[in-house]
Amino acid sequence: MNKQVYRTFKLRFLIVSCLLATVVYGQEFQYEGKYQMGTYLGQARFGYDLVEKDTVLQGPFGLQRLDVSALLGEKDRSFDFTGYFTNGRPTGSWNFKFGEYATDSSGKIVGYQYHVNVNGIQRSAKGKMIDGSPDGLWSFSTKQIEGSQIQDTLFLSEFNFDKGVPQQNFVITNTRGTLIGRLLRNGTAHDTWTFFAEDDNTMESWYFDNGRLLKIEQQTNTLTEVLDIFGDKVAKTKTIDFDEGFMALIALYRPSMTSFFSDTSFVNKLLLENQRQYQSINTLFNSIGNADLRPNFQVSVPYFPLSAEALLHLKRIDTIVSRSSKISSEILNSTQVNLLKRSDKEAELLFQTTKAISSNYIQPLEALTRLHQMKVVAYLPKKLLIKRLFPNGKPTTTLTIPVAQNPGQEVTGPGATKYDFTPNSIQALSDMATYADSYLDSITVVLNKKLFKDQRKQELIKLEEQLIDQANELTQLIDTTKSGMRATYKKVLRHVGDTSDRLLSGYAEMTSGSEKITRAKSLSTCLEDLKTLATTIVSLEEKATTVDETYTDAVWNPFMANLMEEAVKKRLTTAYHNILIPYFLEQVRLRLDCENANALALLFESAFERMLVLREMETSKLERKLKREEDPTVVLRLFELENLKSQN
Amino acid sequence: MKHTHKLLLGIVLLLFTVNFGLGQEGEVLPSESVFKDPKTRVWFNSYGNIRISKRLFWDAQTHFRFKETESTPFIGQIAQIYNRHAIGYIYSKKVNFSLGGVLRINFNTDESSTDRNVVPEWRIWHQYQFAQPLYSAMIYHRIRIEHRWTQGFAENSEYIFRNRWRYMFRAKIPLNSHKLKPKTLYVSPESELIMQSGKEVVGSVMEDLRLTATLGYILTPRLTIAAGPMFSHGQTLANPGEFNQNWTLRFHVYFSPDIRRVKNKLPAIHFND
């Protein structure tokens, strides 16, 4: 390799390397302007890289919105987010402020600035992130502002994180009281979490032992409730997130807790509110980057591992139930079915069966799919799960349907004997889903058939009404234009009317059947065509006048010294008036039927249009050929209309 | 219209300033005017108006004029064959002018005469026509000026030169229609005064006064036929005290072909656009 070649190679290598570097590492850009983060639209300023056409946030980030005129008007929803991104992940200090302010219109001038007092709510969140996870202290607060001063703290939560894992003690406060809890280094709940009410009379304590919830105790005034949650006999345990799934699990073990959680428990309320606060910021982060900001404390629960087969069945149940649920609600909410069941006893039975399928099979299975989505199915013994899903006992394949105050009619779906729902297994539930689904399908088929029949009847009635309307319109058209019209035109018009009458009588004689609806449809089209034809014939006199007027020139007569109308291209007009139109009328009289009505109308229209076109064209040759020509087919050919003729 | 009025005024002044002399040399004026017996005549007139361009037309008229003779009363024998040609200029739909020449062949209708049977007569003529619509009718003013060279039937007779000053007023009133258009029958009253001047004209300035009623029919915009009687009388050239009188039955054919190519015809009517 000589020196020259080597140098060229080196240069090329350098250029290619630079290009590659740009592609791999992206380019840095700065953006300043309108930007949306989640549902927050404001003025933004940030840096970003383009990596494979993706925008990756990089460096300081700021998004603000402040509308003074809105503040002075009614209310301003302002916000101010600042922080830092590294490769699209939030890193370093972050500060979120959300304000909902109104002004009381009192203010003063300080220096060269207006100071205006505001009232409202300020929500804030601040803390440190490391590679998209919380690290260090995170605090969330909601404050009530009156006259630009903090009036009340509505909510406050403070957690310490170590690379995303919550540590040590935490505090969550609202206007009712304060929850203090303890967490182990790995984030598991430990020891007693206690809620102290402001009024000192109430205390709620949750007792944990290394993540395992032992009991919940609530002291309202003098009443103390002690609830043992999972019991003692637990073979296996598993550590899971302390989230809504866990709460649901508690409620499944202790059904009485459902109302406790929703109505009474202070701890639950504070934890839920805390979770919402974390979620709202996490959603914002994830709308433009990647982050995992959540309280993330862990609890340990009983574990009943699911077999691979059971997991597959659960997945199947999800799919089938979502489909069945849709079908059943379609049937139950269909106005057509609701109308039909009033007059059709079988439809009524099917409707009620659908209702029973929905409540007996689908709704419990939907509850199961919800548990599956919360990933708690494996933390319940099967027997308990089934007991909870079917509090009134597991249904069989036979349903008892109450019809017209009778005690009930027993019905079964397709393949009822194949299924057995008695085992306490996921497979039995999967079978139930399949059975419910095929049952609904069979109902749909029958109902559709019934609806279709009903629809067809309705359609035919509508069609016949339309036919009568159309026939009346045609008769009216013919009757109103009869006076003052040329006898030949009248005669042909009458023939069109007679044709319509004849066709309608033919239809009326048909026995009802599926052909009748087809015939009604085609007859409707036919009557429309006949009307078009009649309209065309009615317009013939007007058309003749138009043709004559079109084929007129104003000529200066030197002897009279005035302008006179002179008919021009008389051979064309003569052929039109004396040969074509009479020929077309004759065709209508001799050959009119549904198939050619439209074509015949088209023939009149086309000849007329052709006349208008020929007026402007050089026609001396055509005029010569038309001399003494009396054969309409030849004239049609000369007028270049024979294609239309052969079509009809 | 202004032009029309000026021209009319000029003609009227001219008529009044013509020298009303006392009579032809050698002729003695009678003590009162002598009106000769009316003669009858039959005229077959064709009027062609052939459009040759947007503004020009060829005015082509051929008349066959018969005059009664003793052996053939009423229709008589051919007296004149009359060829009048001109190039016309269409100023507007209502106004046009013409300039051209006339060759008239005069036949000697005097059966006793031994003079020449046929002599030519030459004219240069120009004409100014004005039309006005009046309700459903049209009225027309026509001024025609002719410079005329005539000679008698006698052997070696000299040409004499005269000017003719003619004004005609005519109306055309449609009878079966609200305007003059094809398939319309119309009636046309008409009067024309023909004055003359020249060295040879001594006293006989009123050559002819023609009063006509014509019934016409417009066949097409390009073809019209008409016929009607005409009474005319005027001073004889020889003696201003003597008046000729004539009853003439006239038949007219008016035709106006357009020999332009089709594309040049358009627009046929917009002269001033």
Each residue's pLDDT tens digit, B26-39: 568 899 999 999 99
Distance from CA of A593 to the nearest CA of B (A): 44
Residues A275-296 have a mean pLDDT of 83
Residue A431's region, left for phi above 0, alpha for psi from -120 to 50, else beta, is alpha
Looking up tokens 């690379």 gives A163
Residues B81-88 have a mean pLDDT of 95
Binned at pLDDT 50, 70 and 90, residue B86 comes out as very high
ipTM value, please give it.
0.83
More confident residue, A53 or B135: B135
Distances (CA, A) of A46 to A28, A29, A34, A105, B261: 11, 9, 11, 35, 80
* Chain A 561-590, residues with CB within 8 Å of chain B CB atoms: 561-566
- 3-class secondary structure for chain B? CHHHHHHHHHHHHHHHHCCCCCCCCCCCCCCCCEECCCEEEEEEEEEEEEECCCCEEEEEEEEEEEECCCCCCCCCEEEEEEEEEEEEEECCCCEEEEEEEEEEEEECCCCCCCCCCEEEEEEEEEEEEEEEEECCEEEEEEEEEEEEEECCCCCCCCCEEEEEEEEEEEEEEECCCCCCCCCEEEEEEEEEEEEEECCCCCCCCEEEEEEEEEEEEEEECCEEEEEEEEEEEEECCCCCCEEEEEEEEEEEEEECCECCCHHHHCCCCCCCC
Biggest distance spanned by C-alpha atoms of chain B: 66
More confident residue, A513 or A293: A293
pLDDT score for B263: 56
Residues A421-443 have a mean pLDDT of 86
| Percentage of chain A modeled with pLDDT above 90 | 10
Each residue's pLDDT tens digit, A606-636: 999 999 999 888 888 899 999 888 899 999 8
Residues A49-56 have a mean pLDDT of 78
pLDDT score for B37: 93
Q: What angle do CA A458, A500, A503 make, to 5 degrees?
A: 65
| Percentage of chain B modeled with pLDDT above 70 | 85
Each residue's pLDDT tens digit, A454-481: 777 778 888 888 888 999 999 888 888 7
Distance from CA of B221 to the nearest CA of A (A): 6
pLDDT score for A648: 47
Each residue's pLDDT tens digit, A116-154: 888 888 888 898 888 888 888 889 988 888 878 888 888
Read off the pTM: 0.47
Instruction: Suggest the residue from B52, B55, B178, B180 to mutate for an interface test with chain A (most A CBs closer than 10 A).
Output: B180
pLDDT score for A221: 56
- A356 pLDDT more than 60: yes
pLDDT score for A464: 87
Binned at pLDDT 50, 70 and 90, residue B88 comes out as very high
Q: A33 Cβ partners below 8 Å, 6+ apart?
A: A43, A44
pLDDT score for B24: 44
Residues A282-300 have a mean pLDDT of 82
Binned at pLDDT 50, 70 and 90, residue A8 comes out as low
Binned at pLDDT 50, 70 and 90, residue A482 comes out as low
Give backbone dihedrals phi and psi of A298, rounded to 5 degrees, phi first.
-110, 150
Distance from CA of A627 to the nearest CA of B (A): 20
Residues A83-95 have a mean pLDDT of 86
Distance from CA of B268 to the nearest CA of A (A): 7
pLDDT score for B205: 94
| Percentage of chain A modeled with pLDDT above 70 | 90
Give backbone dihedrals phi and psi of A476, rounded to 5 degrees, phi first.
-60, -45
Q: Which of A30-34, B65-69, B217-221 is predicted with the least confidence, judged by mean pLDDT?
A: A30-34
- State the sign of the Cα–Cα–Cα–Cα dihedral A238, A239, A245, A250: positive
Residues of A in contact with B221 (CB under 8 A): 555, 557, 564-566
Check: CB of residue B267 under 8 Å from CB of residue B258: no
- A162 pLDDT more than 90: no
Check: CB of residue B150 under 8 Å from CB of residue B160: yes
Each residue's pLDDT tens digit, A65-80: 887 777 777 788 888 8
CA distance A372 to A379: 11
Each residue's pLDDT tens digit, B196-215: 999 989 989 999 999 999 99
Give the mean pLDDT of chain A. 82
Residues of B in contact with A557 (CB under 8 A): 180, 218, 221-222, 224, 256
Binned at pLDDT 50, 70 and 90, residue A359 comes out as confident
Each residue's pLDDT tens digit, A21-40: 444 444 578 888 888 888 88
CB contact under 8 A, B269 and A555: yes
pLDDT score for B187: 97
pLDDT score for B212: 96
pLDDT score for B174: 96
First vs last C-alpha separation in chain B: 18
Q: Which of A385-399, B68-82, B259-273 is predicted with the least confidence, judged by mean pLDDT?
A: B259-273
Whole-angstrom Cα Rg for chain B: 20
Whole-angstrom Cα Rg for chain A: 43
pLDDT score for A415: 80
Residues A355-360 have a mean pLDDT of 88
pLDDT score for B75: 78
Residues A243-265 have a mean pLDDT of 76
Residues of B in contact with A569 (CB under 8 A): none
Q: Which of A217-226, A249-258, B152-161, B166-175 is predicted with the least confidence, judged by mean pLDDT?
A: A217-226
Residues B154-172 have a mean pLDDT of 93
* Chain A 234-293, residues with CB within 8 Å of chain B CB atoms: none
More confident residue, B25 or B235: B235
List the single residue in B with minimal CA-CA distance to A556: B269
Each residue's pLDDT tens digit, B175-198: 999 999 999 999 999 999 999 999
Looking up tokens 């020196």 gives A3
CB contact under 8 A, A555 and B268: yes
Q: Which of A41-50, A552-561, B160-169 is predicted with the least confidence, judged by mean pLDDT?
A: A41-50
CB contact under 8 A, A557 and B179: no
CB contact under 8 A, A559 and B256: yes
pLDDT score for B18: 42
- Residue B267: cis peptide before it, omega within 30 degrees of 0: yes
Q: What's the token pair of residue A513?
A: 């059947």
Biggest distance spanned by C-alpha atoms of chain A: 130
List the single residue in B with minimal CA-CA distance to A553: B268
List the single residue in A with minimal CA-CA distance to B136: A562
List the single residue in B with minimal CA-CA distance to A554: B269
CB contact under 8 A, B93 and A555: no
Distance of CA A342 to the CA centre of its chain: 32
* Chain B 64-123, residues with CB within 8 Å of chain A CB atoms: 88, 90, 93-94, 96
